[in-house]
Chains A and B, each alone.
Chain A
Amino acid sequence: MDFLNAIVALANYVLIPGIAYGSQLAIGALGVTLVYGILRFSNFAHGDTMAFGTMIVILMTWWLQSAGVSLGPLPTALVALPVGILGCIGLVLLTDRLVYRFYREQKAKPVILVIVSMGVMFIMNGIVRFIIGPDDQSFADGERFIISARDFKNMTGLEEGLGIRTTQLITVITAIIVVALLFWFLNKTRAGKSMRAYSDNEDLALLSGINPERVVMLTWIIVATLATIAGVLYGLDKSFKPFTYFQLLLPIFASAVVGGIGSPIGAIAGGFVIAFSEVTITYAWKKVLGYLMPESLEPSGLVQLMSTDYKFAVSFVILLIVLLFKPTGLFRGQAT
Chain B
Amino acid sequence: MKKMLMATTAAALVATGAYAESHTKEVKLGVLLGFTGPIESLTGPMSAGAEMAMKEISDSGLLMDGATVASMRADSGCIDNGLAVSNGERLIADGVSGLIGADCSGVTGAVLQNVAIPNGMVMISPSATSPGLTTMEDNGLFFRTSPSDAREGEVMAELLMERGVKSIALTYTNNDYGKGLADAIESSYEAAGGEVTIVAAHEDGKADYSAEVGALASAGGDLLVVAGYLDQGGAGIIKAALDAGAWEQFGLPGGMIGENLPTTIGPDLNGSYGQIAGSEGNGIETFTTMAEEAGFDGTSPYTPESYDAAALFLLAMQAANSTDPAVYKDKILEVANAPGEKIYPGDLAKALELIKAGTDIDYVGASAVELIGPGESAGTYRMIEVQDGKNVTVGYK
Chain A residues engaging chain B, CB cutoff 8 angstroms: 12-14, 17, 21, 138, 144-145, 148-150, 152-153, 161-163, 165, 234, 237-241, 243-244, 278-279, 282-288, 302-304, 307-309, 311
A283 touches B215 (CB 8 A): yes
A286 adjacent to B214 (CB under 8 Å): no
Residue on A with the closest CB to B208? A238
Q: C-beta contact mask, B117-140 vs A, less than 8 Å → 1, else 0?
A: 000000000000000000000000
B205 touches A243 (CB 8 A): yes
B204-240 CB contacts (< 8 Å) to partner A: 205-208, 210-215, 217-220, 236
Contact A287-B220, Cβ < 8 Å, known A12-B244, A309-B203? yes
User: Which one of A150, A238, A303, A304 lies within 8 Å of B207 (CB-CB)?
Assistant: A238
Given contacts A163-B244, A307-B200, is CB(A17)–CB(B215) below 8 Å? no
A selection of 26 A-B contacts at a CB cut-off of 8 Å is A12-B244, A12-B245, A17-B214, A145-B243, A149-B243, A161-B245, A162-B245, A239-B208, A239-B236, A241-B205, A241-B207, A244-B205, A244-B207, A278-B211, A279-B214, A282-B211, A282-B214, A283-B211, A283-B214, A284-B219, A287-B220, A302-B198, A302-B219, A304-B215, A304-B218, A309-B201
Which residues of the partner chain B approach A150 to less than 8 Å between Cβ atoms? 245, 248
Known: A279-B211, A308-B200. A287 touches B218 (CB 8 A): yes
A144 to B, closest residue via Cβ: B243
Q: How far is the CB of B183 from chain A (nearest CB, A)?
A: 17
For the complex, give the distance between the alpha carbons of A309 and B203 in Å: 7
**Does B212 lie within 8 Å of A308, measured CB to CB?**
yes
Inter-subunit contact A13/B201 (CB<8 Å): no
The answer on a CB contact under 8 Å between B207 and A286 is no
B interface residue numbers (CB < 8 A to A): 174, 198, 200-203, 205-208, 210-215, 217-220, 236, 243-246, 248, 264
Contact between chains at A148 and B245 (CB < 8 Å):
yes
Q: Which of B211, B219, B244 contacts A311 (CB 8 A)?
A: B211
Q: Are A287 and B245 in contact (CB under 8 A)?
A: no
Q: How far is the CA of A244 from the CA of B204 in the complex (A)?
A: 11
Q: Which 4 A-B pairs have the closest CB atoms?
A: A149-B245, A161-B245, A284-B218, A238-B207
Q: Give bound CA distance, A153 to B236, whole Å.
A: 23
Closest residue of B by beta carbon distance from A244: B207
Residue of B nearest to A160 (CB): B245
Task: Give the residue name and chain of the B residue nearest to A303 (CB).
Answer: B218
**What are the residues of chain A within 8 A of B203 when measuring CB–CB?**
309
Interfacial chain B residues near A162, Cβ < 8 Å: 245
C-alpha gap A150/B213 in the complex (Å): 16
Q: How far is the CB of B94 from chain A (nearest CB, A)?
A: 39
Question: Closest Cβ of chain A: how far from B288's Cβ, in Å?
Answer: 30
Contact B214 A14 (CB under 8 A): yes
Q: Which residue from A138, A161, A237, A308 sits with its C-beta under 8 Å from B211?
A: A308
With contact pairs A243-B205, A307-B200, A309-B201 given, residues A302 and B215 touching in the complex (Cβ less than 8 Å): yes
A132 nearest CB across to chain B (Å): 15
Q: Are the C-beta atoms of B215 and A308 separated by less than 8 Å? A: yes
Known: A244-B206, A307-B201. 17 other contacts (CB 8 A): A13-B210, A13-B217, A17-B210, A149-B245, A162-B245, A234-B207, A237-B208, A239-B208, A244-B205, A279-B214, A282-B214, A283-B214, A303-B218, A304-B215, A308-B214, A308-B215, A309-B203
| Minimal Cβ-Cβ distance residue in A for B202 | A308
CA distance A17 to B214 in the complex (A): 10
Output the least CB separation between B244 and chain A (Å). Answer: 6
Q: Which residues of A contact B245 (CB under 8 A)?
A: 12, 148-150, 152-153, 161-163
Smallest Cβ-Cβ distance to B201: which chain A residue: A309
| Whole-angstrom distance between the Cβ of B229 and the nearest chain A Cβ | 12
Shortest CB–CB separation between residue B5 and chain A, in angstroms? 52
Q: Which residue of B lies closest to A281 (CB)?
A: B211
Q: Tell me which residues across on chain B come within 8 A of A286, comparing CB atoms.
A: 218-219
CA distance A293 to B220 in the complex (A): 17
Q: Which residues on the B side are within 8 Å of A311 (C-beta)?
A: 211
Q: Given the complex, which residues of B lie within 8 Å of A282, measured CB to CB?
A: 211, 214-215
Contacting residues, chain A, for B220 (C-beta < 8 A): 287
Contacts of B217 in A (CB 8 A): 13, 287
A239-B210 contact given A165-B243, A286-B219, CB 8 Å threshold: no
Residues on B with beta carbons closer than 8 Å to the beta carbon of A278: 211
B264 and chain A: residue at smallest CB distance: A138
Chain B residues with Cβ below 8 Å from A161 are 244-245
Give Cα A288 to B220, complex, Å.
12
* Chain A residue contacts of B208, Cβ below 8 A: 21, 237-239
A308 CB contacts on chain B under 8 angstroms? 200, 202, 211-212, 214-215
Looking at the assembled complex, report how far the CB atom of B271 sits from the nearest CB atom of chain A, in whole angstroms.
Answer: 13
Closest beta carbon of chain B to A335's beta carbon, Å = 32
Residues of B near A145 (CB, < 8 A) are 243
Can you name the residue of chain B whose Cβ is closest to the Cβ of A307? B200
- Whether A283 lies near B207 (C-beta < 8 A) is no
Residue in A closest to B241 when the chains form the complex, CB atoms: A149
Whole-angstrom distance between the alpha carbons of A249 and B208 in the complex?
A: 15
Most buried by A among B213, B217, B218, B248: B218
Q: Which chain B residues border A304 with CB–CB below 8 Å?
A: 215, 218
Taking each of A288, A308, A311, which has the highest tally of chain B beta carbons within 10 Å of its own beta carbon?
Answer: A308
The CA of A308 and the CA of B210, in the complex, are separated in Å by 10
Taking a contact as CB atoms under 8 Å apart, the answer to whether A163 and B215 are in contact is no
Nearest-CB residue, chain A, relative to B218: A284
